[in-house]
Structure 1
C-alpha cells in the first residue's frame, strides 16, 4: 500500500500568523508519536499562508489521525486564528526519477 501525502494550507486571520504557527508547532510532538506518521512539518509560504505537509504510511492511519485527540486539540487551538477553513488535499505519488528524489 503506497504512502499518503497530504497538505493542509492555513490562511491566518489578520495579525494571528505567529499565534497560528505556535498552535501548529505545539501539536507536532504528539503527532510525530502517532502510528503511521512519517512526516508532519509546517512551512511558511510566500503568500502569507502556513502549509502543513504530512506523509502517512496508509490512508487508514491518516484517517485515524484525523479522528484522534491531537487533531481535535489542534482544530480548537487554530480556529480563532483562521480567516477561512484550511484547504486539505490528499495526494498519491506519481513515481519519477529515483525513489529518494522523485517522491516524498
Structure 2
C-alpha cells in the first residue's frame, strides 16, 4: 500500500534560501532510493517549504527515514529552521477519475 507524506519546513528569517537549497540538494539522492515514487519540493504561501512525497510502502519509507540522504539533509538544515519539520503520513483514499483521484 503506498504512503503519502508531507514534510513542512519553517525556515528562520533570512534562512529560507539556504534551507531551500539544502532540500533541493537532497532530491537527487532520495529520488534514487528504493520505493520513492514522488519527492517534490514546493513553496507554500505562508513561507514554509513543503515536501510532498509518495512511497511504495511503509517499509520503504522507514528505510528512507533511517537512510543516509535524510541524515545528510538533517545535518545541512541545522540552524536554518524554527523547529523540526512537521511530518504527516497519509494513506490514499482514491476516488473519482483514477488518474486524478490519487497522487
The TM-score range, normalised by the shorter chain, is: over 0.9
Root-mean-square deviation (CA), in Å? 0.6
Aligned to 2:76: 77
Distance (Å, rounded) in 2 between the aligned partners of 1:78 and 1:100: 35
Aligned to 1:14: 13
Distance (Å, rounded) in 2 between the aligned partners of 1:79 and 1:86: 12
Whose helix fraction is larger, Structure 1's or Structure 2's? Answer: 1
* SS of match in other structure, 1:28: helix
Distance (Å, rounded) in 2 between the aligned partners of 1:17 and 1:99: 36
* SS of match in other structure, 1:82: coil
Matches within 5 A, 1:1-104: 2-104=1-103
* SS of match in other structure, 1:61: helix
Whose strand fraction is larger, Structure 1's or Structure 2's? Answer: 1
* SS of match in other structure, 1:84: coil
Aligned residues: 103
Gaps of 5+ in 1: none
Distance (Å, rounded) in 1 between the aligned partners of 2:34 and 2:85: 24
TM-score normalised by L of structure 2:
0.97
| Runs of 4+ with >4 A deviation | none
